[in-house]
Amino acid sequence: MISDQIQKAVQSAVAELGMQAGEVVLEHPGELSRGDYATNVAMALAKKAVVKPKDLAEKIATAIRAQNIPEIAKVEVAGPGFINFYLSQTFLVSEIAKIVSLGGQYGLNKTLAGKTVMLEYTSPNLFKPLHIGNLVGNILGESLSRLLIASGAEVKRINYPSDIGLTVAKGVWGLQKTGGNPKDIKALGEAYRVGNTAYDEAGDEKKEIEVINKALYEYSNPTLTTLRKDGIATSLLHLEMLCKKLGTKFDTQFFESQSALLGRDIVLANITNGIFEKSDGAVIYKGEVDGLHTRVFLNSHGLPTYEAKEVGLFKLKSEAYPNFDISITVTGNEQLDFFRVVFSAIKKVFKEETKGKVLRHVPNGFLTLTTGKMSSRKGNVITGESLIETVQEMVREKVKDRGFDVSTTEIVAESVAIGAIKYSILRQQMGSNIIFDFEKSLSFEGDSGPYLQYTTVRARTVLAKAKIVGLVPSTKNSPKSIGDLERVIYRFPEVLERATHDYAPHLLVTFAVELSATFNAFYANQTIIDGKDPDSLYRLAITSAVASVLEQCLYVLAIPLPEKM
């Protein structure tokens, strides 16, 4: 990348002056008129060199100019000692040509080549509709998986649904009380609400639910087992349908019913070696020795807690993919402390299996509407399906006058609705809470998923019209001067790489919005298709490059792209 070349040029110039630059930090100036890159390396080194930052910056700039780097048109000193770099027109035009020729391969890198990543996300509690929090986890997890793949990693997508435990026991108890049909997802949601309310009241009902929970683990009551089986099947069907709509397909799916007893046995087997210890009838892990806290892995009834289930899950995952390099779990940020302790325990239990491996928890924030937080416990939940359907209906209303047939309207409504929701989540820094605003999320004027989709469709439409009249994009005859688009679009590879390194899809969102805004300004002020204008083919090349890079952005963000809007 050109940024690497500039960093090396700075390091070489600093070395000529008898100093060491170390890592050179480059930034893009806030305004394109101030250059394409800037560094404060002179200000960082000036104090040690006992010179004025601006004077040192001038010396460094002079040394860089002497290198005669073709890709750099100008190097200048600004302010108290910043060094600004202006890229050459030849380089920027060559990047447009490269994008057009490479298509969807532009910007891909090999920084994670040879690495196998286990990425676990979504992982809902079954026996009730998919909560909106799981929707957030799915959207973040899918985007992360595509970022990692774009950087050369082999990614194994893993789902870990909870199909046993108190949540299921509450639902089974609730079904018995409500008489609900376990094959109806709404009936499951109501049964869970009733069961959870009864459990929280801590009366005889709580004891009844705990008895059911134990019976479900032991498969000792055929009637209860059948209710659980039917409810789980219903939940999984709805989960599969929703994941398909969201563009996610898992490589492997493990269940808590698989990990629970396995985790229990592993915990019990590691008491004598001191990793776990008994305490008041339970089995605990004392994390204080690692600066953490104590957590219960087996409760006083001998049943595995979520902590023990994670131990069992790691066993299942590491057996399925023994050569993994990184294991990532995407869940809510309220589980940060939970995973610190669990990973500490896992590394001691599976010392050899985790040697040289990375275990990482990536947190996601809560999504709330402008009306506030939602909870399936109290029944005021908005499910993943209902959120999508609500936004879809709003899209149908927006596009009803565009003359689409019924089939096209439904495709556009679903694509735009999912794009709006995903954008609202992915635009936030990982772990930040999200406030979803229905109206703002559907704006076609910027800072929204539909805006990115509309801009991409616009660029595609221009290219389709050009093809009809026989015009082919070309950079052979570029104009005397270039515009802002060339100076924005070449940044895509470095944004993609940094977004992967930092686990930060929002960086890609920010870039895509800037590129879209720049293209729309270009579109408004240029006649792109003009057979009599020799610059028309170059403008088409830029349009082709924009369409290609925006398509890549949308793909990595897992935002669908309709043919029409």
DSSP code, position 352: T
Taking Cα atoms as reference points, which of 483, 481, 444, 462 lies closest to residue 537?
A: 462
Kindly indicate the confidence band of residue 72, based on its pLDDT and cuts at 50, 70 and 90: very high
Per-residue DSSP letters for 108-161?
---TTTT-EEEEE----BSSSPPBHHHHHHHHHHHHHHHHHHHTT-EEEEEE--
Q: Chain centroid to CA 47: how far? A: 41
pLDDT in tens, 80-118: 999 999 999 999 999 999 999 998 999 999 999 999 999
Give all strands (DSSP E) within 339-423, no chain letters: 358-364, 367-369
Q: Closest Cα to residue 437, out of 517, 360, 491, 371?
A: 371
| 255: its two tokens | 């269940």
pLDDT above 90 for 413: yes
Which tens digits make up the pLDDT trace of 547-563?
A: 999 999 999 999 999 99
CB 550 within 8 A of CB 512: yes
What structural domains and CATH numbers belong to the chain? 2-87 (3.30.1360.70), 161-249 (no CATH), 384-556 (1.10.730.10)
Contacts of 170 (CB under 8 A, 6+ apart): 191, 192, 195, 196, 198, 199, 209
Mean pLDDT of 276-295: 96
Residues 13-36: tens digit of each pLDDT: 999 999 988 889 999 998 999 999
Q: Residue 117: beta bridge partners?
A: 155, 326
Nearest C-alpha neighbor of 116 from the set 471, 357, 460 = 357
Q: What is the pLDDT of residue 64?
A: 97
Q: Which residues of 301-316 are buried (b: 16+ CB within 10 A; e: fewer)?
A: eebbbbbbbbbbbbbb
The amino acid at residue 451 is: Y
| Backbone torsions φ then ψ of 77, nearest 5 degrees | -100, 135
> Over the range 23-52, which residues count as b (16 or more CB within 10 Å of their CB) and which as e?
ebebebeeeeeebbbbbbbbbbbbeebebe
Look at residue 49 in the predicted model and tell me its pLDDT.
82
Q: Quickly state the pLDDT bin for 54 (edges 50, 70, 90).
A: very high
Q: Crossing angle for the helix pair 222-246 and 384-399, nearest 10 degrees? A: 30
Cα separations in angstroms, 494 against 225, 246, 498, 502, 552: 53, 27, 6, 12, 14
For residue 195, pLDDT beyond 60: yes
The distance from CA 350 to its chain's CA centroid, rounded to whole angstroms, is: 29
448-474 mean pLDDT: 96
pLDDT of residue 379: 46
The pLDDT of residue 371 is above 70: no
User: Is the C-alpha dihedral spanning 248, 250, 256, 260 positive or negative?
Assistant: negative
The average confidence (pLDDT) of the chain is 94
pLDDT confidence of 6, banded at 50, 70, 90? Answer: very high
CA 184 to chain centre: 31
- Both tokens of 453, joined, read 């989709």
pLDDT (mean) for 399-428: 93
pLDDT confidence of residue 385: 85
With vertex at residue 221, the alpha carbon angle to CA 215 and CA 224, rounded to the nearest 5 degrees, is 85
378 pLDDT above the threshold of 70: no
The residue type at 219: Y
pLDDT of residue 192: 94
What is the full DSSP assignment across 238-265? Answer: HHHHHHHHHT---SEE--HHHHHHHHHH
Q: How confident is the model at residue 376 (pLDDT cuts 50, 70, 90)?
A: very low
**By three-state DSSP, how is residue 314 classified?**
helix
pLDDT at 537: 96
Give me the pLDDT at residue 199, please.
95
Flag whether pLDDT at 511 surpasses 60: yes
Give the β-pairing of 72-78 and 277-279: unpaired
The pTM score is: 0.92
- CA pair distance 315, 119, nearest whole angstrom: 15
8 A C-beta contact, residue 298 and residue 308: yes
State in Å, rounded, how far the first CA of the chain is from the last one.
35
